Amino acid sequence: MESVDYKQFIKANIGGAAQPQANAVVLSSMPLIKPPVTVAQKFDEAVEPLLDEIEVLADKCRILRRTRDLLLPRLISGHLLLNNAHE
């Protein structure tokens, strides 16, 4: 659905003159190639751990951003002091 080909297909098949709309029939009418079940299963087995890791890292990034946003103003204002920051 993110491919250029799919987006071009949808644009070419949108209906409505005043306000073009892509309904469910248009969105699902593009022919797709479906891999054999074994290939899809192997793909899932290879990709699932990567997707899990992406989710974990995204959570860590959110926590780090929140921590930075809480600490940085306190550091800049002098309300929070660091001892031995150069070590």
3-state secondary structure of 19: coil
Residues 66 and 84 in one domain: yes
Q: Are residues 38 and 25 in the same domain?
A: no
Q: What is the pTM of this model?
A: 0.56
> What is the spatial distance between Cα 15 and Cα 26, in angstroms, rounded to a whole number?
9
Domain, as residue range, for 66: 34-87
pLDDT at res. 85: 58
Tell me: pLDDT of 87 over 90.
Answer: no
Q: Are residues 5 and 42 in the same domain?
A: no
Q: Confirm if 13 and 25 have CB atoms less than 8 A apart.
A: no
Residues 8-65 have pLDDT tens digits of 887 787 765 555 676 777 777 878 889 999 999 999 999 999 999 999 999 999 999 9
Residue 59's DSSP bridge partners are: none
Judge if 22 and 51 occupy the same domain: no
In angstroms, the CA 50 to CA 43 distance is 11
Residues 18 and 40 in one domain: no
H-run or E-run covering 5: helix 4-13
Q: What mean pLDDT do residues 66-78 have?
A: 93
Query: Residue for token digits 């892509």?
Result: 22
Which pLDDT score, from 0 to 100, does residue 17 have? 57
Residue type, 7: K
| pLDDT, position 18 | 54
Looking at the structure of the chain, the number of domains it has is: 2
